[in-house]
Amino acid sequence: HFGVQRLYSVLSFTPPILSLLYSLLLAHTSSLRIWTHIRALSHTIMLSLSSRVIASASAAASAFGRRAFHTLPATVLEVKEMARHFANSELMPIAAKTDREHLFPAAAVQQLGELGLMGVAVSEEDGGSGMDSLTYAVAMEEISRGCAATGVIMSVNNSLYCDPVKKNASAEQKEAWLRPFASGEKLGCFALTEPGNGSDAAAASTTAKRDGDNYILNGAKAWITNGYEADAAVVFATTDKEKKHKGISAFLIPKPVEGLTLGKKEDKLGIRGSSTCTLNFQDCVVPKENLLGKEGDGFKIAMQTLDGGRIGIAAQALGIGQAALEVAGKYANERQAFGTPIGKLQAIQFKLADMEVKLESARLLTYKAASLKDAGLPYSKEAAMAKLAASEAATFVSHQAIQVCGGMGYVSDMPVERHYRDARITEIYEGTSEIQRLVIGNAVLKQFK
């Protein structure tokens, strides 16, 4: 699916003769393999066009004040433009209603799967799009710019469900527990937090006791995004209390399943289109084949997953902040006061300048963290820095956007009040700002030992 969409993106920049070549390619190649062939062709027939592709995509992006995009590969820019078009045409028109009525955007989520955005960094062999973390982050920002609730649904499926399954599942498990989720056919969730432990993930009280060929799970998992709609969950439970955090294991659990009940849908400040609930396990029987990795691997899997997840949340926060900045910038150009557009007033220009600097700085940190992950290099500190900077930037920018818009920013006629509410959660989930500072501080201290 992703290959087809990206093919269309390329065709929009190519002359008729190259379009004909791609049409022939499309007629003789399965959709999942199209992009592989396109990339091979780029060394010959697309070389002369690559600068035009980059320039055209960069021009569209820079219209919204994005100066860093010229450094991104052409393939990433194409995905960005595809995601931006989808956000503009499909998400922005429904975002207010999604928020107001707490509606799960089922149609939009299905379309994300068709576009290949529910398993961006999963290999084509496992049902995904075969791209990388940088591409995922760029797409994630654009989707969240259109609708933050849709963005977090996409983020959880990509970062918190598909990523740990991709890295730790057996080949047999991947067929059942990864392929349909990476393709968007099914939706996943991630169950680590508990009512009593919050940021202290090592204090898991949910237990999984071995009983022959099964494990029996008892306990509760709180604040589970996608909890109602998900078809499966990566669940963490203690299999050996004596080993503390090294006694935590991860399990793949289908939904619905006997012994699992769902708590109420939480009435949240923001991201209201995504469901959040508690998963309650009471003598829930899980086959030993559903163990993800080995017994005792759970805490390590959770921490590695959260590192990657923080890149996704950083990108979500960037999208929210960018959306707020765009509204504020447009309003500043149009709103008249004292006989001039308010954008010409120094007080407003200073606000817009601070907003742009914070977003662009956080964006570059996010790109760096994603690039380090793609290179197979340590990135925990950089992911924490990106998440911290982007989430606090989103809160700051959306707050300032309301100030720029004045009274109009405070009412739901304009989207910046929604952006403000949506931004707040990015400083809390997948590690609070305080946790990010601990991660960063510890990493800095290690540098000087």
Positions annotated as catalytic residues are 430
Q: How far apart are CA 65 and CA 365, in angstroms?
A: 17
Nearest Cα residue to 181 out of 156, 206, 208, 149: 156
Determine the Cα angle at 2 with ends 48 and 425, to 5°.
115
Write b or e for each residue in 28-51: b if 16 or more Cβ atoms lie within 10 A of its Cβ, otherwise e. Answer: ebeebebbebbeebbeeebeebee
H-run or E-run covering 222: strand 214-225
Q: How far apart are CA 141 and CA 157, in angstroms?
A: 15
Q: How far apart are CA 115 and CA 22, in angstroms?
A: 19
Give me 299's structure tokens. 């805490």
Which sign, positive or negative, has the C-alpha torsion 400, 403, 404, 408?
positive
Nearest Cα residue to 352 out of 336, 333, 329, 322: 329
Give me 292's structure tokens. 């993800």
Contact by Cβ (8 Å): 85, 92:
no
Strands 336-337 and 207-211, sheet pairing: unpaired
DSSP string, 118-187: SSTTS-GGGTS----HHHHHHHHHHHHHH-HHHHHHHHIIIIIIIHHHHHH--HHHHHHHTHHHHTTSS-
